[in-house]
Every structure is written in C-alpha cells, then in structure tokens.
Amino acid sequence: MILKGRVWKFGDNIDTDAIIPARHLNTSDPAQLARHCMEDADPAFITRMKPGDIIVGGENFGCGSSREHAPIAIKAAGISCVVAKSFARIFYRNAFNMGLPIFESRDLADAIAEGARISLDSAQGSITVEGLDRKFSISPIPPFMEQLIADGGLMKHIAGK
C-alpha cells in the first residue's frame, strides 16, 4: 500500500475525545462523525484538510475511551492513514477493525512540520518526505491486519467470507 498526502500534526496523548468529542456521539453515522473530526484539537481541521491527507501524532495517539467512533471519524473525514510514535492499544485494534490504516514511526513526528508532503510505502516499511533526503521507518503491519484494511475493516472482512 502506498499512501501520499499532506501532514496534519498533533502532539502526544491525543485522546478519543479530541478526535471525536463526546457531545457528537449521539450518532454512528460516519458522515456526521467526520464533520467533527479533530474538532477539539483543531477547530479548523475539518475545513482545511483534504481527502488523502495524513495525520501524524506523537506518543499514545487515541488514548482515552475505547469508542470505535474515533477511527470511524478519521476514516470518514478522508484521512488516508495515521502515523504516530505510538498508539493506545484499544485505538490500535479499533482502527484496524474499522479499516483505518495506522503506522508507528518513532522519528517522523519530530523531524517534519505540519503541511509537509509524505509518501508512505507499507511494503517497503518506509516514509519519504518531499524535500528531505531521508527515509523514516515504519513498523510492519501483520499480513492479517493488512487484509483487514484491504477489506475495509473487520465486519466487511467477515462478510466477505
């Protein structure tokens, strides 16, 4: 999988309330959730981001509650993937279950600025940054989880069998 996009940076400990505020959890409709994606972390995010853009975060991205609404909101907003130093374990599992590609990279967030354009190659396990003569490593995704992403998430994966 090769993903290319403009970077939106967020710091450490971005919790699920920052990704999709609890006041918007009266729906599970992806389009409704997308309208409020990252609203409490960056109120203008949803109006400025473009489909295919990439979120880059720090440590413990997706911490907090175990709600599935958070990866649904990110995916429905059109974000192609999330790259972070680390993910909260329940968010990590929910992201794959919802079909949102996520990748861990220890060095990327500290080396780039918001607005940078990156290209992520999951097969090569690397990220290149436009204008930088350096590659960043990403942790490999187990093949079964890659298949979940390709199928659009766990429920679609199961339904296809």
pLDDT tens per residue, the chain (161 residues)? 899 999 999 999 999 999 999 999 888 899 999 999 999 999 999 999 999 999 999 999 999 987 899 999 999 999 999 999 999 999 999 999 999 999 999 999 999 999 999 999 998 999 999 999 899 999 888 888 888 899 999 988 888 85
Task: Yes or no: say if 63 and 35 are a contact pair by the CB < 8 Å rule.
Answer: no
CATH number of the domain residue 39 falls in: 3.20.19.10
pLDDT at 65: 83
Say if strands 126-129 and 117-121 run parallel, antiparallel, or are unpaired.
Answer: antiparallel
| Containing structural domain, residue 119 | 2-159
What's the structural domain count of the chain? 1
